[in-house]
Copies of this chain bind each other. A is one copy, B any other.
Amino acid sequence: MLNKLKIVNDPVHGFIKIPYEILFDVIEHPYFQRLRRISQTGLLSLVYPGSTHTRFQHALGATHMMFTALETLKMKGAEVSPEEEQAALLAILLHDIGHGPYSHALESVLMNDCHHERLSLLLMEKLNEEFCGALDLAIQMFQGKYPRRFFNQLISSQVDVDRLDYLKRDSFYTGVAEGNVNTQRMISMMNVHNEELVIDAKGIYSIEGFFAARMFMYWQVYFHKTSSAAEHILVKALKRAKQLVARGERLTATENLGYFLHKSKFDKMTLEDLQRFTELDDSDIMFGLKSWQGHSDFILSYLCKAITQRHFPKNIISERPFGEELVDKIIQKTNMFYKIQNADWLVDEIERTFLPYDAEKQTVFLKNKSGEVFPLEKSESQILTQHLKIQNTKYILSFPREISSMINQDLKK
């Protein structure tokens, strides 16, 4: 019992209470403080200027959602011990601790596709040592090894508190109202049945609304053609830098970024890898991009300026693939225009696929007043679920703005 309740101001949820001491201690750890310098939505602020929030805020917000969800479940009769509550809060607080700079974007480049969830686990285990095993239960829950499955489902499922927070938060900061999830209502509809997370049947529209909001956020924000292209360019800039370094060229970079530019094998993660990773944040990347703007390699310089000066490529979106032939033709024209031979770095067809509700992989279950439990897609009241089970794919063709007039004819065919 705390005599002084710690609270954090949060523009999205109002106030966030930190109900256990160990949560503070983890928050104060440099691993966690680093999240203050990692933007939640990568380069999205180049498209939606308001979107400057960080992983730090999201982690606190998701923790708050977890706290609220557990309060609700307890009021509905679920037994949750203080140890379980603390563990669940720790697990969600740390679920993104393994995110590198600019979030998802650079996982594939910096550490050869080492997924952030694996890194999150490694860092949680490291923290667990420092905290003498106090994170044991949290790690079990995070890994889905704890027998009461609803804890893991609150951390990671189609209706988890991670999504609740990031959708609401990203909607708030981008100003895209279509994604404004009614988190309070969603949580108040949660329930536990046979240790599994279920949703009260009368909350059917809330879930459908939640899935629809998520779909809008994906297509209008995350997969927005300019956002998609910006992220793509960032990845390519780093790849190009890594390639140049591999060829022996010198690139200005912070010490830690330099380390990752030079290293290519991460099959076995070393202690140094991990340590240096925890010192990397958005400012290392931004410093690199700013330095390389003037680099003699045309490709690298072009990609870096695209970001730092917001000189974006031209992007066209379509329901159908553009085809290799067209892409090749544009590459050749770009080569000609710039008198280069590697314009494949500047022209792309980007594919984006989204399935709002993956009924097969992970069914959402409803529970009606009589206690019956059935899949969302069997509900008599559904108004949107059938549509939300359909996967959608879009294609983005991205090429230098400068050659637009040269290829207008090709595009019309």
A271 within 8 A of B: no
Give which listed residue, B11, B30, B37, B54, contacts A174 with CB less than 8 A: B11
B308–A33 touching, CB < 8 Å: yes
A340 → B minimal CB distance (Å): 23
- Complex Cα distance, B111 from A407, in Å, reads 48
Do A36 and B28 contact each other (CB < 8 Å), given the known contacts A4-B200, A220-B205?
no
A1, A9, A205, A291 — most chain B CB neighbours (10 Å): A9
Contact B9 A50 (CB under 8 A): yes
B75 & A33 in contact (Cβ 8 Å cutoff): no
CB pair A175–B9 under 8 Å, yes or no, is: yes
A48: chain B residues at CB < 8 Å are: 9
Q: Are A10 and B60 in contact (CB under 8 A)?
A: no
Number of interface residues of A (CB under 8 A): 84
Contacts of A45 in B (CB 8 A): 36, 54
Residues of B within 8 A of A1 (CB): 75-77
Is residue A140 contacting chain B, with contact meaning CB distance below 8 A?
no
Contact with B along A1-32 (1 / 0, CB 8 A): 11111011111101101010000000010100
A302 is an interface residue with CB less than 8 A from chain B: no
Answer yes or no: A387 CB below 8 A from chain B CBs. yes
**Shortest distance between the CB of A252 and any CB in chain B (Å):** 8
B205/A76 in contact, CB under 8 A: no
Q: Is B319 in contact with A10, judged by CB distance below 8 angstroms?
A: no
Query: Is A108 in the interface zone, CB < 8 Å from B?
Result: no
Interchain CA distance A46-B35 in the complex, whole Å: 12
Give every chain B residue within 8 A of A343 (Cβ-Cβ).
Answer: none
CA distance A113 to B212 in the complex (A): 38
- Taking a contact as CB atoms closer than 8 A, the residue among B50, B60, B188, B394 that contacts A5 in the complex is B188
Q: Is the CB of A50 within 8 A of B10?
A: yes
Contact of A387 among B12, B174, B180, B387 (CB under 8 A): B387
Within 8 A of B (CB), among A70-102: 72, 75-77
The answer to whether A392 has its CB under 8 Å from any CB of chain B is: yes
How many chain copies does the complex carry?
4
B11 touches A173 (CB 8 A): yes
Which of the residues B57, B290, B318, B392 comes within 8 Å of A49, measured between beta carbons? B57
Is B283 a contact of A287 with CB atoms below 8 Å?
yes
Q: Does A286 contact B (CB under 8 A)?
A: yes
A173 to B172, CA, bound (A): 10
Contact of A188 with B308 at beta-carbon distance under 8 Å, contacts A52-B54, A57-B49, A76-B4 already known:
no
Give the docked Cα–Cα distance between A9 and B220 (Å): 12
Chain B CB within 8 A of A384 CB: yes
Assembly CA distance A17 to B75 (angstroms): 10
Q: Is the CB of B14 within 8 A of A175?
A: yes
Residues on B with beta carbons closer than 8 Å to the beta carbon of A200: 4
The complex places the Cα of A208 from the Cα of B216 at a distance, in Å, of 9
Please give, as numbers and ranges, the residues of chain B lying within 8 Å of A188 by CB-CB distance: 5, 7, 15, 17
Write the nearest CB–CB distance from A255 to chain B, whole angstroms.
Answer: 8
Whether B205 contacts A216 by the Cβ 8 Å rule is yes
Neighbouring B residues of A365 by C-beta, 8 Å: none
A206 at the interface (CB under 8 A from B): yes
Digitize A179-210: 1 where CB-to-B-CB distance is under 8 Å, 0 elsewhere. 01110110010000000000010000110110
- What residues of chain B lie closer than 8 Å to A377, measured between beta carbons? none
Kindly identify which residue among B2, B9, B181, B184 contacts A77, using a CB–CB cutoff of 8 Å.
B2
Taken residue by residue from 150 to 178, chain A's Cβ proximity to chain B (1 for < 8 Å, 0 otherwise) reads as 00000000000000000000001111111
A-B contact pairs, 5 of them (CB 8 A): A14-B184, A15-B184, A15-B185, A36-B310, A386-B387
Give 7 new A-B contacts, CB below 8 A, not counting A12-B50, A17-B75, A212-B212: A2-B76, A5-B188, A8-B49, A9-B174, A11-B175, A30-B309, A52-B57
10 nearest A-B pairs in the assembled complex, by CB-CB distance: A387-B387, A9-B175, A283-B286, A177-B182, A178-B209, A11-B175, A11-B50, A283-B283, A52-B52, A205-B220
